[in-house]
Structure 1
């Protein structure tokens, strides 16, 4: 049985250019789905899975992201004075325990692999989780927790996967599968963003990983790959042969909130799951569609 995963890394240094001008002065991870920023969903997912320590890999302009998880005494006092207990409690629940949030800067935009490598001093010699806030997963059981359960049994590196259209393989890291029971697949290789003609499968990695600390040595050795960046996929591929590699078809629904339509879809879906909002949102959607048909 593998060691318990206690730490999670959140690579949040990206500039969010696909959402400009909204992200000109606001971190893309602070974009709200209904009334909660993407980064909070990711941190809550990790916390609900039993993660104790949260490591943010940031860049310039990301201070509001860190401030979000800090105390705001004036706001909290005002909410208490006005009797807004529900909102106050939601703010207080969002804050991890003191001494559990850490941050460091990725000073050069050298890709996801480099961002993870920047966390090496915080992780040390233990397995850890990586969550990309752009991928919002709606699930009854935390997606990263599902990976952690598999890791306890298999060890090695475990990633969340889903099957994508063949023409979309060039957007993802793709598994080259040697065994597959319909839920868990063992990989003999990984390819970063292959053309559809070169893709070994349509099993794509999404933004959830449980990794062994040996990934840091692998990241030191790999050369820059796709896009001139240090690719996490290449480092995981380098480890295959000495470290098991599995892809889990997680239970849940993923929304690609790095894409404008995916972000809108997430907002609608999450709003429909709020009992106090559902009826009004349904009417709103009906009105919009009716107006478009006229």
Structure 2
């Protein structure tokens, strides 16, 4: 069965970006002129996903509004002859079939995925986390979908990280591998520093079989006092092989401030209209003065 549905969890409080996220969803913070969540939705659509359910929480209505039609704005842009802006506004409203469900309690990523179970039914599905923007010739989630079509098993997207960063991620303990596809001994959620079984970190892209809901439904409390998706994947792996795939592409971490700033700078440098101005600005900065601050 082909993967046609995707879940995008977007119910988090965005505490790393307070006070900006006190009233604005973290997922709506823009990289240049586009909110981060739109990059995630575009990746899913480019991969062939048709139906997308976004798991939201309180104070997240801006996400729904962004992907909805705004007739008054469209009419205003049309009357003023701003055709380019009009097309960009319409584009975000017609990307995919968008659905929403609210996670009423902050119980972790695993609980957020479980909240969308009725939308998924008995189909394989994709999960894309909003903290990671991936630029690749073949969308990252599409690479995982291709592997699923070959194996018929759940596929977890991974990339290598520095040993010093393994405690921040779910980590894969790999067995044998073939062309980037790993069979897995175990999945470990945020191991203590120095205890990680490898440096293969789970990077916010998954293709999962519906059997995952059997384990998420147990509501087991894991790391951080939350229901962890990684723990459910570990249970699934013990009964039905789960693979990890080292996908190709440049990953940008927009889930914390430093990564968000770096991503914004890199995307600006890649933008034809502003790259020269950004380069000139960077060259003009007195780095010695900054260093002494």
Which of the five TM-score ranges fits, normalised by the shorter chain? Answer: over 0.9
101-110 vs 194-203, greater mean Cα deviation:
194-203
Q: Distance in 2 between matches of 1:289 and 1:124?
A: 57
Q: Is the 8 A contact 1:188 1:245 kept in 2?
A: no
Q: What does residue 12 of structure 1 align with?
A: 10
Shift of 1:182: 5.3
Q: Is the 8 A contact 2:111 2:219 kept in 1?
A: no
- Structure 1: 4+ residue segments shifted above 3 A: 289-294
Matches within 5 A, 1:1-294: 3-96=1-94, 100-181=97-178, 183-221=180-218, 223-290=220-287, 292=290
In structure 1, stretches of 5+ residues that fail to align are none
Instruction: Kindly provide the CA deviation profile for residues 245-284 of structure 1, in whole angstroms up to 9, marking residues without a partner as x.
Output: 1222111111111111100111111111111111111111
Shift of 1:60: 0.3
Shift of 1:286: 1.3
Q: Is the 8 A contact 2:45 2:95 kept in 1?
A: no
Q: Distance in 2 between matches of 1:35 and 1:243?
A: 43
Q: Is the 8 A contact 1:155 1:244 kept in 2?
A: no
Q: Distance in 2 between matches of 1:207 and 1:239?
A: 18
Q: Distance in 2 between matches of 1:283 and 1:185?
A: 44
With normalisation by structure 1, the TM-score equals: 0.95
Q: Distance in 1 between matches of 2:188 and 2:28?
A: 31
Instruction: Kindly provide the CA deviation profile for residues 81-121 of structure 1, in whole angstroms up to 9, marking residues without a partner as x.
Output: 111111111111112368x2111111111100000000000
127-136 vs 182-191, greater mean Cα deviation:
182-191
With normalisation by structure 2, the TM-score equals: 0.95
Shift of 1:197: 3.0
Shift of 1:180: 2.1
Q: Distance in 1 between matches of 2:95 and 2:132?
A: 24
Q: Distance in 1 between matches of 2:137 and 2:286?
A: 30
Shift of 1:288: 2.2
What number of residue pairs does the alignment pair up?
A: 291
Shift of 1:189: 1.0
